[in-house]
């Protein structure tokens, strides 16, 4: 067992994913305390914070803006305190869905056809056919996600999505199997298949208990599993990811994987999908949290 250290778990924050972050942080804090660590929970609601002088490492259980977009990572880099997950640059890239898509295209990672919308008055994109998906460029947890099945629904979808960001990503909607892939310290975890019982995997179905079924390992052959995992790892590398992440991948009926996005600080509630995938690989929740801390501590300068 690793020796006890002083860990600050950052949770909550002021973003739209505050409620989920509070649950992630509570789970992580309880797990780390059970391992004998000194744990302080810190909620940086105003975008500023002061760490206890004894802090050895920060565990980032924040989601969404501030926590996942590189801001807090940059602040921690300035004061020289190690933290879990990707660095500021990779966090900023991965949080921006357009930048992620561009990096995937450059790296040859399969991703869906897309365009960018900057105004509520933008007309239906020429040459496109429904269905499409409209997403705020810089949000997570399916916040503001809109499914457009008819051109007549376009204007209302833009109006709703623009409530959450000043720029929108429009993607072809991939009709197929929905999967997500966890990555931990260079290891690709078993694929999770996501099956909403009705409708789409939107915010409501994601966070309402019983609305969605999860299968891990996903029921698919070894060749398809390998293609999905390769695409996920390719996207993780394309944004410069570090330590761990969860990559969402759709699978066309032809079996072709299509990367949707990279989540650099995925949910860490005990029922979240990264812990689920880790459990399928024989890594329990407490061990997963410890591994994340150990990876961050490995970057701590020797003179600290």
- 261 assigned to active site: yes
- 285 assigned to active site: no
Catalytically annotated residue among 18, 242, 246, 291: 246
- 166 assigned to active site: no
Strand segments, DSSP code E, in 75-211 are 114-117, 132-136, 146-148, 168-172, 176-184, 187-188, 192-196
Catalytically annotated residue among 16, 141, 205, 272: 141
User: Distance between CA 132 and CA 147 in Å, rounded?
Assistant: 6
- 241 assigned to active site: no
User: Distance between CA 216 and CA 201 in Å, rounded?
Assistant: 17
- 17 assigned to active site: yes
- 207 assigned to active site: yes
Catalytically annotated residue among 86, 248, 272, 285: 248
- 267 assigned to active site: yes
Cis before residue 73, ω within 30 degrees of 0?
no
Catalytically annotated residue among 21, 263, 272, 291: 263
User: Distance between CA 74 and CA 85 in Å, rounded?
Assistant: 13
Catalytically annotated residue among 207, 211, 255, 294: 207
User: Distance between CA 92 and CA 67 in Å, rounded?
Assistant: 10
- 141 assigned to active site: yes
Q: Is 57 helix (H, G, I), strand (E, B) or coil?
A: strand
Catalytically annotated residue among 13, 16, 17, 178: 17
Catalytically annotated residue among 244, 261, 272, 285: 261
Helix axis angle for 71-79 and 88-95, nearest 10°, is 180
Cis before residue 217, ω within 30 degrees of 0?
yes
Active centre residues (catalytic): 17, 141, 207, 246, 248, 261, 263, 267
């Amino acid at each position: 067992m690793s020796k006890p250290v002083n860990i600050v778990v950052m949770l909550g924050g002021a973003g739209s994913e505050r409620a989920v972050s509070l649950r992630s942080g509570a789970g992580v804090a309880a797990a780390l305390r059970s391992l004998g660590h000194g744990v302080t929970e810190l909620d940086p609601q105003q975008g500023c914070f002061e760490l206890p002088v004894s802090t050895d490492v920060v565990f980032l259980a924040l989601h969404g803006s501030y926590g996942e977009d590189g801001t807090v990572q940059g602040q921690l880099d300035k004061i020289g305190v190690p933290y879990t997950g990707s660095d500021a640059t990779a966090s900023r890239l991965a949080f921006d869905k357009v930048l992620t898509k561009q990096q995937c295209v450059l790296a040859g990672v399969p991703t869906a056809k897309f365009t960018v919308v900057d105004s509520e008055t933008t007309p239906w994109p020429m040459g496109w056919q429904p269905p499409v998906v409209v997403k705020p460029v810089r949000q997570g947890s399916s916040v503001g996600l809109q499914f457009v099945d008819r051109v007549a629904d376009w204007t209302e979808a833009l109006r709703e999505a623009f409530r959450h960001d000043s720029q929108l990503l429009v993607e072809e909607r991939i009709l197929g199997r929905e999967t997500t892939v966890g990555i931990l310290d260079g290891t690709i975890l078993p694929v999770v298949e996501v099956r909403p019982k009705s409708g789409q995997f939107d915010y409501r179905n994601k966070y309402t208990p019983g609305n969605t079924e999860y299968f891990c390992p996903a029921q698919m052959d070894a060749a398809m599993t390998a293609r999905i995992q390769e695409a996920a790892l390719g996207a993780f590398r394309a944004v410069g990811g570090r330590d761990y992440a969860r990559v969402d991948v759709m699978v066309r009926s032809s079996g072709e994987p299509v990367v949707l996005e990279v989540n650099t600080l995925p949910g860490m509630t005990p029922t979240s999908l990264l812990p689920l995938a880790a459990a399928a690989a024989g890594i329990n929740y407490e061990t997963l949290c410890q591994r994340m801390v150990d990876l961050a501590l490995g970057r701590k300068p020797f003179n600290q």
